[in-house]
Amino acid sequence: MRQPLAVVGVRLCVGALLLAAAVTATPAAAGSSSRRNGAPSVPRAWVPPVKSDRWECIVIHHSATDFGGAARFDKGHRAKGWDELGYHFVIGNGSDTRDGQVEVGPRWTEQRHGAHCRSPEDYYNEHGIGICLVGNFDEGPPSAAQVQSLTKLVRFLCRKYDIPASHVYTHGGVTHQTRCPGKNFDLKSLRRSVR
Ligand SMILES: [Zn+2]
């Protein structure tokens, strides 16, 4: 398990196991939302303050843990020497944060590349929006609230950045080096609901 390229993604998921205490990541703004052109209202924090033409796809992960949230994963990623939380968004399961709560990471606010899906050329980190759902979906499916939030978020991102549903991927689907986000994660259904 020391092969550098292949294993990073797995380690990233497992990094969630590391303990954390302090809340350092910015939670999605509750209550405030932006609406324009009659489009469905989304939390203001989802709309980044700066423009970017970087985004071409979306990569879905699970944490492979029962507990977690942006702060815990941020701490775990820093403990491995990374600069900060590798994902752009984290969707809670009622452990560290509310079930279905969408946390927005600093990488999204700053429109920075992700650190969640290593591959040759690093395409998925450079151009992929990384979303992690808390939970282990090899053991059971995501909650209804998580699926609802994920669908809303992915739909918003696909429309905003002209990302086709066929460019919504799973971590294992692109690297073939991990089962992330687990056998119970339904990518087909997500893609259908985004179209
Ligand atoms: Zn993953």
- Domain ranges across the chain: 52-194
Q: From the CA of 160, how far away is ligand 1's center (Å)?
A: 24
Q: From the CA of 105, how far away is ligand 1's center (Å)?
A: 16
Structure tokens at 130: 């990384």
**Structure confidence by residue, pLDDT tens digits, 19-76:** 333 334 444 444 455 555 555 689 999 999 999 999 999 999 999 999 999 999 999 9
Q: Which residue's entry shows tokens 């939380």? A: 85
- Round the average pLDDT of the chain to a whole number and report it: 86
Q: From the CA of 36, how far away is ligand 1's center (Å)?
A: 33
Closest Cα to residue 9, out of 109, 77, 58? 77
What is the predicted pLDDT for the residue at 20? 38
Helix 187-194 vs helix 144-161: crossing angle, to nearest 10: 50
Residue 125 and residue 62: Cα distance in Å, rounded? 16
- Please state whether beta strands 42-43 and 33-34 pair in parallel, antiparallel, or not at all (unpaired): antiparallel
Structure tokens at 60: 């879905």
Q: From the CA of 40, how far away is ligand 1's center (Å)?
A: 29
Which value, to the nearest 10 degrees, does the dihedral of the CA atoms of residues 155, 159, 164, 166 take? -10
From the options 3.40.50.720, 3.40.80.10, 3.30.160.100, 3.40.50.2000, give the CATH code of 52-194: 3.40.80.10
Q: From the CA of 38, how far away is ligand 1's center (Å)?
A: 34
pTM tops 0.85, yes or no:
no
What is the predicted pLDDT for the residue at 4? 44
Q: From the CA of 35, how far away is ligand 1's center (Å)?
A: 31
What is the predicted pLDDT for the residue at 15? 43
**Structure confidence by residue, pLDDT tens digits, 154-163:** 999 999 999 9
Mean pLDDT of 139-168: 97
